[in-house]
């Protein structure tokens, strides 16, 4: 199966943004990217939900994009988050990412405004017609307050600049409708649903747990592509418990940052209004990591 953005098939990792003394910790960011390159990860997605983009200043957002592209140095594809609830702001960020050499842009549906489906279509159309890099439509209604309906995505698929969908609705019916009717590259936005999505034609995942276990997630994807469904299922069940128990403790990226600290890869605290993982939950997290064999 060949899709519109086939080079993005596989494992992309939604990077956390490391902080130190209240500012972006660029050396730590570079270490994260080197870690992913060594793991054989396909691509990285900085400054998305996991990267705490809502609390970055405009200058910080742009700096993380630029530093990520420089650190990847062609070893990894770079698809930074450039979405906003303001079309003009999303356009500015997406143009900046393109100018810096990003391979694509991850654009979340407009949040808070609660636009109509026509408004959502016009938002993405404006971006697709104004930049030269592929756009990945990031559909996560639990964060945005608006589902991008499959009929809207089918309309967007008629635009050459729309190449991918990060599917984080949790609906296999919606994903099936999109995959069956378009050649868009559909990537899982939920780690625990990666194998089910692959089974209906999805082509990979933009992963949170890939921050700590990229090799295992990549092995699942590779096993599926090789037709080794038994191995893929085994890895799915192994990863499922980690995904469910880690990501269910608190809002992303609170648990993944806590997990990275426990594993000796401290990336600093989350920014307000997010707060660090509470002590009882941190004890549960340590048990989860221990059960997986990480600590």
Task: Indicate which residues carry an active-site annotation.
Answer: 138, 166
- Residues with Cβ within 8 Å of residue 213, at least 6 apart in sequence: 239, 242, 292, 294
What span, in angstroms and rounded, lies between the C-alpha atoms of 270 and 268? 7
Backbone angles phi, psi at 91, to 5 degrees: -65, -40
What span, in angstroms and rounded, lies between the C-alpha atoms of 115 and 100? 30
Token pair 């009882």: residue: 280
Backbone angles phi, psi at 232, to 5 degrees: -60, -40
Structure tokens that stand for 77 in this block: 């594809």
Provide the CA 105 distance to its chain's centre, in angstroms: 11
What span, in angstroms and rounded, lies between the C-alpha atoms of 236 and 209? 13
Structure tokens that stand for 274 in this block: 């997010």
What separation in angstroms does the CA of 199 have from each of 166, 229, 246? 16, 10, 24
What span, in angstroms and rounded, lies between the C-alpha atoms of 157 and 165? 10
């Amino acid at each position: 199966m060949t899709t519109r953005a086939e080079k993005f098939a596989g494992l992309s990792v939604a990077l956390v943004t490391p902080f130190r003394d209240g500012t972006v910790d660029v050396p730590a960011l570079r270490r994260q990217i080197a870690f992913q390159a060594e793991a054989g990860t396909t691509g990285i997605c900085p400054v998305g939900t996991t990267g705490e983009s809502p609390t970055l200043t405009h200058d910080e957002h742009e700096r993380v994009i630029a530093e990520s592209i420089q650190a990847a140095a062609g070893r990894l594809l770079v698809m930074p988050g450039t979405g906003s609830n303001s079309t003009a702001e999303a356009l500015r960020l997406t143009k900046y990412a393109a100018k810096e050499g990003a391979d694509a842009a991850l654009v979340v549906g407009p949040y808070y405004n609660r636009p109509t489906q026509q408004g959502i279509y016009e938002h993405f159309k404006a971006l697709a017609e104004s930049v030269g890099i592929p756009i990945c439509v990031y559909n996560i209604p639990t964060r945005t307050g608006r589902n991008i309906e499959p009929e809207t995505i089918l309309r967007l698929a008629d635009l050459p600049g729309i190449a991918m969908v990060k599917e984080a609705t949790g609906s296999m019916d919606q994903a099936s409708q999109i995959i069956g009717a378009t050649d868009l590259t559909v990537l899982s936005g939920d780690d625990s649903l990666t194998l089910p999505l692959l089974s209906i034609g999805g082509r990979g995942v933009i992963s949170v747990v890939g921050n700590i276990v990229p090799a295992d997630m990549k092995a699942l994807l590779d096993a599926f592509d090789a037709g080794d469904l038994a191995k893929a299922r085994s890895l799915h069940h192994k990863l499922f418990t980690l995904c469910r128990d880690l990501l269910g403790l608190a809002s992303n990226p609170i648990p993944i940052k806590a997990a990275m600290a426990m594993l000796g890869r401290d990336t600093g605290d989350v920014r307000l209004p997010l707060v660090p993982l509470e002590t009882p939950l941190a004890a549960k997290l340590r048990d989860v990591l221990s059960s997986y064999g990480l600590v």
